[in-house]
Amino acid sequence: MQYTTEMRLIRVMCTGRVDLAHVLRAFSNGIDGVFIGGCHLNECNYITHGNYHALNMVLLFKKVLEHVGLSPDRLRIEFMSGADAGIFVESVNDF
């Protein structure tokens, strides 16, 4: 399975580690979009439930993007497991 080569993959241990400042820095550096892929809700590998924190951050930042005149579609979060390679490839290529 192949996904587009026009993206830069940054791995973190948990989507809860993706901070609002990281997303803001990406957009301020001219990135076209930010895609966050995380564990299914209620299936967090850690006790922290970071995927819920990431979801809240994305929903908040989409409102910020809309407020400053950028399309909120430039930020996306998808939930999938490590075995869902097909879903990952399809989601990234669609994005």
pLDDT for position 57: 92
Would residue 9 count as lying in a domain?
no
Count of domains forming the chain: 1
Report residue 8's pLDDT band, with 50, 70 and 90 as the boundaries: confident
pLDDT for position 58: 93
Which structural domain, as residue segments, surrounds residue 30?
15-94
Average pLDDT over residues 13-27: 88
* Cα distance between residue 66 and residue 68, in whole Å: 6
Would residue 49 count as lying in a domain?
yes
Which tokens belong to 10?
Answer: 């940054």
* Cα distance between residue 41 and residue 22, in whole Å: 22
* Cα distance between residue 9 and residue 22, in whole Å: 14
State phi, psi for 76 to the nearest 5 degrees. Answer: -140, 145
Among residues 15, 34, 7, the alpha carbon closest in space to that of 80 is found at 15
pTM for the whole structure: 0.83
pLDDT per residue as tens digits for the range 30-56: 889 998 988 888 877 777 788 888 899
